[in-house]
Amino acid sequence: MQDLGIRVLFDGENGVRLLLGLVVTLKLSIITIIASCLLGTLMGLLMTLRNPIIHIVTRVYLEFIRIMPQLVLLFVTYFGLTRAVGINLSGFTAAVIVFILWGTAEMGDLVRSAFISIPKDQYESGTALGFSKLQLYRFIILPQALRQIIPPAMNLATRMIMTTSLVVLIGVVEMLKTGQQIIEANRYTAPSAALWIYGTIFFLYFFSCWPLTILAQHLEKKWEK
């Protein structure tokens, strides 16, 4: 029985299909991670400004996005927004929108806290030494801020990769959906396929995220001082 199950993975194109599912997962992750980094940096810088209106708007946005489970945001966008605006979003597009909104909020908060954690005397000393505004940021502020941002940003990236698994619930055909299809197709010839397919998906996710986690831990330790 068991060996029948594992054979499903190598039967025909099943293995390749599962990997193509992984490609969809990673594509979604990479698009949204890159967009979130860019927009999040912008948002983080906006949040450091001392404008009360910007402060309130960004704060409410951040708290709302943070407190809602990502799956709820996906549902609201996929089922609600399409009706409210009258446009037809594919599951993939809805997922891209939600993950960028979420990633931007989280990234914005990381950037903000990194910039405000740099002591004021760093700015003052730089100015006193005759650095121009551009030089000040280029040589003093950014190098310090980046060391604080990069490790948590990488952890955010792994969280985003893991969270993309939810998109199967709004009908995107990615790795989990492909796995389900393979299991269904082989229901009678290989009844134990579910064990092997889900086990494989488990490890495919693990090996997509683990290297990033390890690298983040390494960088964090290296830059701790």
Partner 1 sequence: MDWAFMQRVIPMYAAAVILTLQLVIVGIVLATITGLAISVIRYKKIFLLSPLSAAYVQLFRNTPLLVQLFFLYFGLPKLGIHISSEACAIIGLTLLGGSYMAEAFRAGLNSISPSQIESAQALGFSPIQTLRYIVIPQALAVSIPPLCANVIFLIKETSVFSVVALADLIYVAKDLIGLYYKTDEALLLLVAAYLIILLPISLAAAVLERRIRYAGFGNSRTL
Contact footprint for partner 1 (CB under 8 A): 5, 63, 67-72, 75-76, 79-80, 83-84, 158, 162-163, 165-166, 168-169, 176, 183, 191-199, 201-202, 205-206, 209-210, 213
CB of 72 to partner 1, least distance (A): 6
CB of 1 to partner 1, least distance (A): 8
Q: Which is nearer to partner 1, 80 or 132 (CB)?
A: 80
Q: Which is nearer to partner 1, 101 or 194 (CB)?
A: 194
Q: Which is nearer to partner 1, 136 or 201 (CB)?
A: 201
Residues 6+ apart with CB under 8 A from 105: 40, 43, 61, 62, 65, 66
CB of 206 to partner 1, least distance (A): 5
14-48 vs 2-10: helix crossing angle, rounded to 10: 70
Phi, psi of 93 (to 5 degrees): -65, -45
Q: Which is nearer to partner 1, 139 or 210 (CB)?
A: 210
CB atoms within 10 A of CB 27: 14
Q: Which is nearer to partner 1, 5 or 103 (CB)?
A: 5
By the 8 A CB rule, do 41 and 153 touch?
Answer: no
Residue written as tokens 């037809």? 88
Q: CA angle, 108 as apex, 105 and 112 as ends, to 5°?
A: 140
CB of 77 to partner 1, least distance (A): 10
